Amino acid sequence: METMKQYIEEAESALLHTYNRYQVVLDKGDGVYLYDIEGKKYLDFCAGIAVFALGYHNKKYNDALKAQIDKVIHTSNYYYNVPAIEAAKKIKKVSGMDRVFFTNSGAEAVEGAIKAARKYAYLKDGTTDHEIIAMEHSFHGRTMGALSVTGNPKYREAFEPMIGNIRFAKMNDFESVLANVTDKTCAILFETVQGEGGIYPATEEFLKKVRTLCDERDILLILDEIQCGMGRTGTMYAWQRYGVKPDIMTSAKALGCGVPVGAFMMTEKVGQNSLTSGDHGTTYGGNPLAAAAINVVLDLFEENHIIENVNQVGAYLTEKLDELVQEYDFITERRGIGLMQGLVFEKPVGEIITKALDKGLILINAGTNIIRFVPPLVITRENVDEMMEILESCLK
């Protein structure tokens, strides 16, 4: 068997260098722990970037995927398949939305949401110069459309020109949104809780004002729930805690808990007045294997009372992180909801994250000076205590 160092050297000579990876080759997982190829154990507070909500090696999840692999993995969207029909029904139930389109990733879900909004506006007036308002510091993905609405110039600069007619407003600043609205505005798009941009939740007041504005002017509200959705903040989708429903929403990450899958959903009104046959498609989207993953994930969320656990353990994590803010002068703030939290430091956090990894704790950043905590949603208070012990040893 090759050593960790040899595997890393092979990867660096074969893979396109677009990631600065940590010097670890992960091999397997169990519960909330990961193991590298040398057998070292890591407490995982990253969950594959908010993906592996149910933890690793969940027998029911694994068995459901194995059973589907033995039946059929792919048929294409020329035909119906039972797992996708059942998954759509379950997603409608938990989201309160009316129509579902399955994708392979979050970025693809955002692409579809943008197309749906533009088609909706096009069918109203027959013109193609409509504008979308997105937020500064947002992150929606790396494909050209998703990148165009990502409010961080450093991600966009080398790939200009983007898709046009995008304006950027300030998150939680309604006057800033209002200043960007024109008679050509067809949609307002933002993450209900900004992830990569620094763990900024939308305020209830902001959400409600934007919703009212959209209703008054027949503008579509698109909420990106790719990272903050699927129970992470203590409701199935983060907007549900505010009672403000979007016209279109995106979901991915924990929706498949490891199998690449995403979706965009919409109300019946948008569904009847936007994308029609031939407007949008995907070869793999909603294939039987991906849909089987969605089905078992949604079943396990209910059976294992995942959202109740997020609310209980999330409150405990919040309390513990707040204690760190009080104790250390160089930690300035905690932001977040439930099991989507960020600690803001006065300086870059890379060194702390590397030290934690050495000590068997996986953490990630959000921007240079924020440690992000997005663990599996099945963690316990004991796991929080274990994480805190390692983190504090790194801070000292």
Mean pLDDT confidence for 347-374: 97
How confident is the model over 215-249, as pLDDT tens digits?
999 999 999 999 999 999 999 999 999 999 999 99
- pLDDT category at 76 given cuts 50, 70, 90 is very high
Whether 361 shows a pLDDT value over 80: the answer reads yes
* Helical (H) or strand (E) element with 356: helix 350-358
- Kindly list the structural domains of the chain, giving each domain's residue range(s) and its CATH number in brackets, ordered by start: 4-54+305-395 (3.90.1150.10), 60-303 (3.40.640.10)
192-212 burial code (b ≥16 CB/10 A, e <16): bbbbbbbbbbbeeebbebbbe
Comparing CA positions, the residue from 106, 98, 105, 103 lying closest to residue 77 is: 103
Residue 121 has pLDDT above 80, yes or no: yes
> Is 80 exceeded by the pLDDT of residue 192?
yes
How many whole angstroms separate alpha carbon 373 and alpha carbon 199?
A: 10
Number of helices (H) and strands (E), helices first, in the chain?
Answer: 14, 17
pLDDT at 284 over 90: yes
C-alpha to C-alpha distance for 103 and 120, rounded to whole angstroms: 20
Give the span between the Cα atoms of 271 and 315, in whole angstroms: 37
Structure tokens at 21: 């990876």
Mean confidence (pLDDT) of the chain: 97
Contact of 31 with 56, CB cutoff 8 Å: yes
The two tokens of residue 266 are 């919409």
Type of residue at 206? F
Rounded distance between C-alpha atoms, residue 61 and residue 102, angstroms = 19
Confidence of residue 1 (pLDDT cuts 50, 70, 90): confident
pLDDT (mean) for 42-64: 98
Predicted local confidence at residue 74, as pLDDT: 97
Backbone angles phi, psi at 112, to 5 degrees: -65, -40
pLDDT at 2: 87
